[in-house]
Amino acid sequence: MSGKIIRGMSRAIVQRFISCLISVLCIACGLHVFAQEELPRLMPDDLFRRNIGTEGQLDAQFPPHQIVDNIYYVGTQSLASFLITTDAGHILVNSDFERNVPTIRNSVEQLGFDFENIEIIIGSHEHGDHMEGDALAKELSGAKVIAVAEQVPGLAHMRPDGKPHPIDEVIIDGDQVRLGDEVLTAHLTPGHSDGCTSWELTVTDKGQDYKVVIICSVGVNPYYQLWNNPERPDIVNKYQTSYATLRALAADIPLGSHPSMYKLEEKYPLIGQSVNPFIDPEGYLYEIAINEQAMNLRLEEQRLAALQSE
Ligand SMILES: [Zn+2]
């Protein structure tokens, strides 16, 4: 055998060994890492379309429902809003576009809760489809708006009908929002936006505790520049840090700023069955993996395009 073949073989053996080691370590810590071949080849544009849906879906009410314990869905067909109820009032996560606020209020009321009992409004990230409605939601409920520091510059530009964006309290990564006996921890997961925040809380279902993570988004919008972005030179690094942050959180129940991020449409008909359909740790890891793959595909595309134009 020539030295070349032996070197080639030993490299293959080393690679095989490393990949086995990674699998064993991952199984040992209870994580599932998706191998490339398990993932459909979805590009950022595919995931963006999946998240946003049609124009009509942005505004159409999705049947309000209890997800688990004290968490309820009050959003539209493609924009997720969550009501977290406590004895001391409620927390609204995501006010969506301002035009969606009446729909959210209607959903809250259909579930038998008062919109006026919302005490705190927080959001996934500083894009209009998730937090533009803060001013109106605050006006209707009297709630206080809590923003994460990195969301503030983006929120300042959000002025539907010229209304200034209300911010009553600013918190930072790792801080907790508390109301009654509820505690939500803010995890900065930037990349999609600088203030992109995933919210973590614990719920109980049939006597067992589950970790819920409301994923901000690790999506790459179709127009995002990943390669050589002078305005956001650290954008790729931020995405990568966020995948790691989210994986470390290892949620049992994934939720997200768009319901397709946790396959609401598939899970909704299964509500009421013996196992809560929203318990889906694999789905949580899939959402991170599919977005990571799409980010890497787009990054490579942009890198090659830049090389060619040189
Ligand atoms: Zn966004």
What's the CA gap between 132 and 124, in Å, rounded? 11
Instruction: Write out the residues surrounding ion ligand 1, Cβ under 5 A.
Output: 127
Centre of ligand 1 to C-alpha 3, Å, is: 53
Centre of ligand 1 to C-alpha 216, Å, is: 8
pLDDT tens string 187-240: 999 999 999 999 999 999 999 999 999 999 999 999 999 999 999 999 999 999
Chain centre to alpha carbon of residue 86? 23
Centre of ligand 1 to C-alpha 192, Å, is: 6
- What confidence score (pLDDT) does residue 38 get? 83
The parent domain of residue 266 ranges over 39-308
What's the CA gap between 215 and 201, in Å, rounded? 12
Query: Does some domain include residue 274?
Result: yes
Query: Does some domain include residue 142?
Result: yes
Q: Return the CATH number at 121.
A: 3.60.15.10
- The mean of the pLDDT values for the chain is 92
Query: Does some domain include residue 86?
Result: yes
Helices 281-308, 235-249: axis angle to 10 degrees equals: 170
How many domains would you assign to the chain?
Answer: 1
Centre of ligand 1 to C-alpha 122, Å, is: 15
Q: For residue 5, is pLDDT > 60?
A: no
Query: Does some domain include residue 24?
Result: no
User: Which residues pair with residue 203 across a beta bridge?
Assistant: 210
> DSSP E strands: which ranges in the chain?
65-68, 71-73, 82-86, 89-93, 118-122, 144-148, 169-171, 176-179, 182-188, 197-205, 208-215, 253-256
- What confidence score (pLDDT) does residue 310 get? 82
Query: Does some domain include residue 31?
Result: no
Centre of ligand 1 to C-alpha 202, Å, is: 25
Q: How confident is the model at residue 10 (pLDDT cuts 50, 70, 90)?
A: low
Centre of ligand 1 to C-alpha 193, Å, is: 7
Residue 220: how many other CB atoms lie within 10 Å: 27
The CA distances from residue 36 to 31, 139, 290, 298, in Å, are: 16, 48, 10, 16
What's the CA gap between 127 and 121, in Å, rounded? 15
pLDDT tens string 253-308: 999 999 999 999 999 999 999 999 999 999 999 999 999 999 999 999 999 999 99
Query: Does some domain include residue 16?
Result: no
Least confident window among 33-37, 61-65, 202-206, 271-275: 33-37
Centre of ligand 1 to C-alpha 125, Å, is: 6
Judge whether 97 and 305 are in contact, CB under 8 Å.
no
Query: Does some domain include residue 252?
Result: yes
Centre of ligand 1 to C-alpha 80, Å, is: 12
- What confidence score (pLDDT) does residue 24 get? 44
Least confident window among 31-40, 87-96, 276-285: 31-40
Q: How confident is the model at residue 19 (pLDDT cuts 50, 70, 90)?
A: very low
Assign 180 to helix, strand or coil.
coil
pLDDT tens string 112-130: 999 999 999 999 999 999 9
Query: Does some domain include residue 23?
Result: no
Judge whether 145 and 121 are in contact, CB under 8 Å.
yes
Q: For residue 1, is pLDDT > 60?
A: no
